[in-house]
Amino acid sequence: MTIGDSVTIDRDGLDQLVVVLQENGYRVIGPTMRDNAIILDELDTPAALPAGWGVHTEPGRYRVYRRADQAVFAHSAGPGSWKQFLHPPHRLIARLDADLNLEAAGDGPTPTPATGPSSQPPSSQPPQPDRPAAFLGVRGCDMAAIRILERVLGGDAYPDSAFAARCAGLFIVAANCTEPGGVCFCASMGTGPGVAAGYDLALTERIDDSGHRFLVGVGSAAGERILAELRSRPATQAEIADARAEVAAAAGRMGRSMPDADLRAVVRESRESPQWEDVASRCLTCGNCTMVCPTCFCTTTEDVTDLTGDHAERWERWASCFELDFSHVHGGSVRQSGESRYRQWLSHKLGTWYDQFGSSGCVGCGRCIAWCPAGIDLTAEMGRLVELREETDDGHR
């Protein structure tokens, strides 16, 4: 078995994959059912996988349902993304002890690495990279999001060392999508439904008269070593062709699509569009879209102290451009209206992200649509901006 080859494993083989990864020292993180949603979490046992569960999604709505089969990966994106394990929503940066550090520094407290129990509750502590992680079931859109985060946080001259530590030794088991959800639009963003590269192993789930099985593609030497410990058989050409056809067909069953236009130009030329005011009349500026987005990366820092004032901690947490204080400078916030904040988010995601990082900041997962309490649809808003731009161009002719 070498890179580029394909084999087939049965349903028990998927369970065996989880066990083998754990035996090789990985924390296996994958989908599981909790609180009426399919979330991502560390799997203690293969039984935690969401076999037989699917989801219905539409703007402002996400519902799980029982499927007629026992498919494991026949569901679209849930509220969580893999970002939370590589770029945690809340992490301790440093602990400051006034008594000890004043003596050492002489002119004030200096930060020291966090040790010992924290004043924050255990639930706020991010997973520590004591063991490398294995991500199980990464879709094409989320694979693209991980690569974007690697460029944003792990690239350039000053990479985030904490992010790099969490990425170290990362093992990715991708899952080609054959059943896109109602808010998915990855095909129009060029990120799915198939996974092109960057994985160690790639699964395509198939359930038919021949049984429940997974076509497994090998993408790396690490994947080759893990696969060697599983019970498998060579995939037939018919199985390979069938899997490819199903993934290709999924591209035509997307619930949404981004307009076929130069989105950068549309955003740039729509700065004064009345559409921003229209969407602001519906937007709650709650920040849900940025919290569920797999590529939004902005953070802020908070300092907390105990009642004595002798001990303090500095924490980093996710921030949102929808927060009123996000653009606060001396004298007040730059973007005080919901209109300006929504315009900033969309303009950066689909426009100026290219200037900073060389790609779009949107991967077409649809999370921002499903988890918007007002049901605002990013693709519909862009479609309306395109229409207004074309109407303006026609009026000038």
Using CA atoms, how far apart are residues 21 and 26, in angstroms rounded to an integer?
6
* Two tokens, residue 125: 């502590």
- Check residue 128 and give its pLDDT: 52
Nearest-CA neighbor of 74 among 270, 277, 200, 246?
246
Contacts of 30 (CB under 8 A, 6+ apart): 18, 40, 41, 43, 48, 49, 135, 136, 137
State the pTM of this model.
0.88
Average pLDDT per consecutive 10 residues, the chain (397 residues; last block may be shorter) = 85 98 97 96 97 96 96 94 96 80 35 39 48 96 96 88 93 96 96 94 94 96 96 94 95 94 94 93 95 96 87 92 84 83 94 93 97 96 93 66
- Check residue 396 and give its pLDDT: 58
Degrees, nearest 5: CA angle 107-112-115? 145
Q: How many CB atoms lie within 10 A of CB 338?
A: 19
